[in-house]
Amino acid sequence: MTTMTEASVREFKMPDVGEGLTEAEILKWYVQPGDTVTDGQVVCEVETAKAAVELPIPYDGVVRELRFPEGATVDVGMSIIAVDVAGGTGGAGSLDAPAAAPVAEVPAQAAVQTPAAPEKRPEAQPAPKPAGSGRQPVLVGYGVAASSTKRRPRKGPEITVARVPDTLQAELNGHGAASGVKERPLAKPPVRKLAKDLGVDLATVVPSGPDGVITREDVHAAAAPTTPTAPAAPVAEPASPQTQAPVTAPATAPTAAPAPSYDTARETRIPVKGVRKATAAAMVGSAFTAPHVTEFVTIDVTRTLKLVEELKQDKDLQGLRVNPLLLVAKALLVAIRRNPEINASWDEAAQEIVVKHYVNLGIAAATPRGLLVPNIKDAHAKTLPQLAESLGDLVSTAREGKTSPAAMQGGTVTITNVGVFGVDTGTPILNPGESAILAVGAIKLQPWVHKGKVKPRQVTTLALSFDHRLVDGELGSRVLADLAAILEQPRKLITWG
């Protein structure tokens, strides 16, 4: 077997893809061991606490090893892929043997642990690029520090040259990828644990996930009790810790044990990571740092809804997202211009209030990855068509999971539209570093006194939370009153705008 020299191996390390992020989860690999990669080619997609990001490789070569499987959480600065920049075809038995474990042997939980005694290894110089190559990768940084993780020696040279599907299959099965290992059904570790708790043999489960992966639903379906066609006698089976003990029926009337009323499993544990982990930390920090005050106002928005319908026919807004949220956003921008002190932040270190002369308008968006709050940069300077276009792009990008970390940084004030869920209103928590957040409730047809008579009108409730350290009750009330006035009489967008 041809031996690959240490000098030809480059370790691509997890970069800091945001400001101060310390870890990221590998969502998907786009390359496999043995593939040829070029400078700037995207090799994987990772999820940080802020966004999903595609990582390009910063040099040419041949992939020798994927250091971690999909789903693993990796510290910034740790090697995630080994590339032979010399393009050698030798076996992987000599590839950083003391420094890396087989992919299948690196649990996702252990990926974030760093032993105290780091191993030192030489860093190869990048291979020279052809003349005239001006292409630069988007993310090529190596993070805050070099990896100090000491990994177990590999079990055999054939492990590191396994193709990605085999490697991932081995990881899901909890075994190494060495040849001769009997294949077992594909299932992620949480699903495998659920099957064990429920006493389900995964070999008997019919998979419904992509590429034949067994899902939690498949396990629950397999665990569901079935009624025998002709039972000879009632049989009492041992009860598992997660299920209710079956009741033995009288011998004269044998019946099957009743199915659980809610779920076979008594509990489900979901790892806190990524967006959920970041959101939790941010909300706790905000709630216990900034003294929150929330004020409410219920208003008639019938005229605003009529204006929305008229704007949908405007040729300057054709093809753009025109809805009540657009006019709410515009109304908030006008209210901020009339009360600029609301658009500020508290600098604890300097003991100063920082008034922003620009508005980066955050829009809370529910996505498959969790709640994200990207913001529209310099929203105060945008016309209504420009604002509509930015809102449409922001929502579409968030739902596709393509929101960048930069899009979620630097917000100054936020809107959260809880009305889309049929909720009347709420008491929103401030995003860290912001002084105000507006919650928009559901718009409902309700009896309302209009021109001295009770009539059915479109009504909603607004809730404005603000940081009472820098926004007193008078300022907060003025902003909310201006918002109400504009949405009740949208012509004020012209007179006040």
Residue 429: per-residue pLDDT: 93
Distance separating alpha carbons of residues 168 and 12, to the nearest angstrom:
20
Which residue, among 62, 4, 70, has the nearest Cα to 33 in the 3D structure?
A: 62
Distance separating alpha carbons of residues 44 and 52, to the nearest angstrom:
10
Residue 194: per-residue pLDDT: 79
H or E segment to which residue 329 belongs: helix 324-338
User: Who's near 84: CB < 8 A, 6+ residues apart?
Assistant: 4, 8, 9, 10, 61, 62, 64
Which is catalytic among the residues 175, 220, 292, 468? Answer: 468
Q: For residue 55, what are the β-bridge partners?
A: 44
| Cβ atoms 204, 224 nearer than 8 A | no
Residue 199: per-residue pLDDT: 80
Active site residue 468: yes
Which residue, among 312, 452, 404, 432, has the nearest Cα to 46 in the 3D structure?
A: 404
For residue 350, give both structure tokens.
């300097």
Instruction: Classify residue 33 by burial, with Cβ atoms within 10 Å: 0-12, 13-18, 19+.
Output: buried
Residue carrying the six token digits 């700037």: 40
Candidates 3.10.129.10, 3.90.230.10, 3.30.565.10, 3.30.559.10; CATH matching 275-495: 3.30.559.10
| Cβ atoms 164, 29 nearer than 8 A | yes
User: Who's near 142: CB < 8 A, 6+ residues apart?
Assistant: 13, 15, 77
| Cβ atoms 441, 325 nearer than 8 A | no
Predicted TM-score (pTM) of this structure: 0.54
* DSSP of 354-400: EE-SS--EEE-EEETTEEE--EETTGGG--HHHHHHHHHHHHHHHHT
| Cβ atoms 184, 202 nearer than 8 A | yes
- Residue 24 sits at φ, ψ, to 5 deg, of -155, 155
Distance separating alpha carbons of residues 237 and 26, to the nearest angstrom:
42
| Cβ atoms 8, 39 nearer than 8 A | no
pLDDT by residue for the chain (497 residues), tens only, comes to 444 456 788 999 998 876 567 888 898 999 999 999 999 899 998 887 667 788 999 989 999 999 999 988 888 899 999 999 885 443 333 333 333 333 333 343 333 343 444 444 444 444 444 444 443 333 333 333 333 434 444 443 333 333 434 444 444 344 333 334 345 678 776 777 777 777 888 888 888 877 778 887 788 778 765 434 333 333 333 333 333 333 333 334 444 445 545 556 778 888 887 777 777 888 888 887 889 999 999 999 999 999 999 999 999 999 998 999 999 999 999 999 999 999 999 998 899 999 999 999 999 988 877 788 999 999 999 999 999 999 999 988 888 878 888 898 899 999 999 999 999 999 999 999 999 999 999 999 999 999 999 999 999 999 999 999 999 999 999 999 999 999 999 999 999 97
Q: For residue 11, what are the β-bridge partners?
A: 82
Distances (CA, A) of 234 to 30, 58, 87, 253, 257: 54, 67, 67, 9, 9
| Cβ atoms 380, 388 nearer than 8 A | no
Q: For residue 28, what are the β-bridge partners?
A: 45
User: Who's near 379: CB < 8 A, 6+ residues apart?
Assistant: 329, 333, 359, 360, 361, 387, 390
Is 190-223 assigned to CATH 1.10.287.70?
no
| Cβ atoms 324, 305 nearer than 8 A | yes
Going from N- to C-terminal start, the domains of the chain cover 6-179, 190-223, 275-495
Is 6-179 assigned to CATH 2.40.50.100?
yes
User: Who's near 47: CB < 8 A, 6+ residues apart?
Assistant: 24, 25, 27, 53, 274, 275, 369
Residue 183: per-residue pLDDT: 58
Give the β-pairing of 413-417 and 361-363: parallel
8-state DSSP, 304: H
For residue 240, give both structure tokens.
């598992």
